[in-house]
């Protein structure tokens, strides 16, 4: 729970006396050391823990690590003194308002992703999991439906994607990696069953013209103040709000360079192409996923690009189809409308265009 600054005094003036009766000497020693380093000497250890937790936007888990104690121990202290604590999601949402935090978070996410790809065992296991998924017909169909219009704001794309693109492109500078990747690609395309599956996936990705009127994506492009993000549509803005609500770390509008195999050279007229993915997201287990919104109008080569993206970067791709979006709206709509940190769930009646003050400049 986030406590307003004017109400913090109601939870202060606590004594440390009961700590000695309920916690080990080692815990008290670590807490005292933390108090001397970070705390206000005029306040108790308990008061300092509470204020630091509220002011620094650090979760109980991060605060426990800093104080060299455990999450259960710190939770017990807060309960013993009837002190409210922020959830991880609340702490992340508060931190996300800080531009410097967002910059550090993006750098950390890039480094983590880069380190993981250097681990040969991780790449092997991830490759096996990916192959298993692609053998699942339902999974192939869901992924083949990915379609979305490319963003037109080149400057914005460059600003948000440059770092991650640079890191991922380092893999392609490795001659040994390119050689192995080329060999794997050739082996796959020599497999008749693989070619058949890819052809089916490509065909499934083409949208049925009869559905155009049903699945039109409201664009409503513009800056959303509550999530501090320039978005191309209210769908994209609402998906970003879900990540904020859940406290997920993410990078929007990421562009990836792709190698074009011989089979597709005639389509792209080049051995290189690129693809922009809507969101790169770290889930609660620390795993990286790609999220792509499906629209009724796609880049004519988008299905092939998505196919190459999954194959070359081996990131799980989650598609937000119209059906999936409506289910998300049903589940998260009321929650986001009730959130103090978000402007609300945009709809065809209430959105950036009809209510620009609400969505472009959130001040709560």
Q: What is the pLDDT along the chain (364 residues), one digit of tens a residue?
A: 565 666 666 767 777 877 877 888 888 888 888 888 877 777 788 787 877 766 666 677 777 888 888 888 888 888 887 787 766 566 556 666 666 766 766 677 667 766 766 777 777 776 777 777 767 777 666 655 643 444 455 665 565 566 555 656 666 677 776 677 677 777 777 777 776 776 665 445 433 344 334 334 456 788 898 998 888 889 999 999 999 999 999 999 898 999 998 888 888 888 899 999 999 999 888 889 999 997 655 556 788 899 899 989 888 999 998 889 999 999 999 999 999 889 999 998 899 988 988 998 644 4
Q: Give the rounded distance of the alpha carbon of 344 from its chain centre.
A: 19
Give the three-state DSSP class for 345: coil
pLDDT score, position 109: 67
The predicted pLDDT at position 242 comes to: 96
pLDDT value at residue 168? 60
Q: Measuring CA to CA, which residue among 171, 194, 187, 184 is closest to residue 256?
A: 171
| Cα 171 to Cα 155: distance, rounded to the nearest angstrom | 25
- In sequence order, what are the residues at sequence separation of 6 or more whose Cβ sits closer than 8 angstroms to the Cβ of residue 328? 238, 239, 242, 320
Residue 318 near residue 291, CB atoms below 8 Å: yes
Which segments of the chain are extended strands (E)? 222-224, 229-231, 249-259, 272-282, 288-293, 317-320
Exposure string over 152-184, b if 16+ CB within 10 A, otherwise e:
eeeebbeebbebbbebbeebeeeeeeeeebeee
54, 86 in Cβ contact below 8 A? yes
Residues paired with residue 272 on neighbouring β-strands, in sequence order: 259
Helices and strands (DSSP H and E) totals, the chain: 17, 6
Residue 97 confidence (pLDDT): 65
């Amino acid at each position: 729970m986030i406590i307003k600054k004017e109400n913090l005094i109601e939870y202060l003036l606590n004594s440390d006396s009961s700590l000695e009766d309920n916690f080990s000497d080692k815990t008290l020693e670590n807490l005292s050391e933390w108090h001397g380093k970070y705390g206000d000497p005029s306040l108790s250890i308990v008061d300092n823990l509470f204020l630091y937790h509220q002011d620094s936007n650090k979760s109980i888990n991060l605060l426990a690590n800093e104080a060299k104690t455990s999450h259960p121990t710190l939770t017990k202290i807060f309960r013993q003194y009837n002190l409210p604590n922020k959830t991880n999601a609340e702490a992340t949402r508060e931190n996300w308002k800080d531009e410097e935090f967002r910059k550090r978070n993006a750098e950390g996410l890039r480094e983590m992703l880069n380190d993981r790809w250097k681990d040969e065992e991780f790449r092997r296991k991830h490759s096996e999991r990916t192959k298993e998924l692609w053998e699942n017909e339902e999974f192939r169909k869901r992924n083949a439906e990915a379609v979305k219009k490319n963003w037109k704001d080149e400057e914005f794309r460059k600003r948000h994607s440059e770092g991650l693109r640079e890191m991922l492109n380092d893999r392609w500078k490795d001659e040994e990696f390119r050689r192995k990747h080329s060999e794997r690609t050739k082996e796959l395309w020599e497999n008749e069953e693989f070619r058949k599956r890819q052809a089916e996936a490509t065909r499934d990705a083409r949208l049925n013209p009869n559905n155009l009127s049903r699945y039109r994506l409201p664009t409503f492009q513009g800056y959303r103040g509550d999530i501090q993000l320039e978005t191309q549509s209210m769908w994209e803005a609402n998906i970003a709000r879900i990540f904020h609500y859940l406290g997920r770390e993410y990078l929007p509008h990421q562009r990836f360079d792709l190698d074009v195999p011989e089979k597709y050279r005639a389509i792209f007229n080049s051995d290189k192409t690129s693809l922009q993915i809507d969101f790169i997201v770290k889930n609660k287990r620390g795993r990286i996923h790609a999220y792509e919104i499906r629209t009724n109008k796609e880049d004519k080569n988008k299905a092939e690009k998505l196919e190459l993206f999954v194959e070359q970067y081996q990131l799980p791709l989650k598609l937000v189809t119209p059906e999936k979006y409506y289910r998300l709206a049903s589940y998260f709509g009321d929650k986001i409308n009730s959130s103090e940190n978000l402007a609300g769930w945009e709809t065809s009646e209430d959105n950036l265009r009809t209510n620009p003050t609400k969505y472009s400049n959130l001040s709560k």
